[in-house]
Amino acid sequence: MTAQGVKSSYWTGVRDGAPFLLVIVPFAMLFGVLATEAGLNPAEALAFSVVVIAGAAQFTALQLLQDHAPILVVLASSLAVNLRMAMYSASLTPHLGHLPLWQRGVAAYFLVDQTYALAVIKYEKEPQLSRAEKFAYFVGTLTPICPFWYVFTVVGALVGATIPPEWGLDFAMPIAFIAMIGPALRTGAHMTAALVASVAALTFAFLPYNLGLLISAGLGMAAGAEVERRVGAA
């Protein structure tokens, strides 16, 4: 391991992460706009993004807060949406699990879909990378992603504050979810999970506080896992 190798790994991560700006910028702005529609000011919208830093969970929590759901339902729903992070963490543990505590803390906080996808592919392709180079690459991937999520959340909140309330932006929420979920439907297990969850969400829509969301999420994950198990056993 050399300082040059660590530096090179960092800048490779930056280059690999840069294309995700095309997704991060509009979605961060959309969250900021919708946050102001829900009654948050720019500082509160920024704090939301800094504390949660998970787009799908943020949109879910925002929708439930707008529906005046109990805080426990909001937290449980957001946790259900983000359960995939536990699998991401387990997948990266062989590569980053032996780093110093502060570095593991950085990796855990900035573990999002984009940084995970880039990191796991890189580590599998280049297993000879040292731990320092792996961490440098991970930090490189988050550099053009996570800070811009914060920045454009504020930009979106400032823009949203200038939009007259009578215009309404309720339509943007389902569009945002469709745009996030659509590209993830890559396998039969994914599509089964989405179909079962969608049908269950409609079936249990009558339940109060959007509890149908929790039920449909559980059923969707169970269905997807079963399909994946059967395909793997075939």
**All structural domains of the chain with their residue ranges:** 3-170, 185-234
**Mean residue pLDDT across the chain:** 85
Q: What is the pLDDT of residues 36-88, one digit of tens each?
A: 888 889 999 999 999 988 888 888 888 888 777 788 888 887 887 787 788 78
Predicted pLDDT of residue 190: 81
Q: How confident is the model at residue 163 (pLDDT cuts 50, 70, 90)?
A: low
Give the 3-state secondary structure percentages of the chain, helix then strand then coil, rounded to 5.
Answer: 80, 0, 20
Predicted pLDDT of residue 148: 94
Calculate helix-pair angle for 113-125, 3-17, nearest 10 degrees: 130
Given a cut of 60, is residue 28 above it in pLDDT? yes
**Length of the chain measured in residues:** 234
Q: How confident is the model at residue 179 (pLDDT cuts 50, 70, 90)?
A: low
In this prediction the pTM is 0.74
How many angstroms separate the CA atoms of 86 and 108, rounded?
A: 10
DSSP for residue 205: T
Predicted pLDDT of residue 166: 60
Q: What is the pLDDT of residues 76-131, one digit of tens each?
A: 878 877 877 887 888 899 999 999 999 999 999 999 988 988 998 899 899 899 99
Q: What is the pLDDT of residues 185-194, one digit of tens each?
A: 778 888 898 8
How many angstroms separate the CA atoms of 173 and 178, rounded?
A: 9
Predicted pLDDT of residue 4: 81
155-169 mean pLDDT: 73
How many angstroms separate the CA atoms of 95 and 88, rounded?
A: 12
146-173 mean pLDDT: 77
Q: Which among 179, 210, 221 has a CA at the least distance from the CA of 70?
A: 210
147-157 mean pLDDT: 94
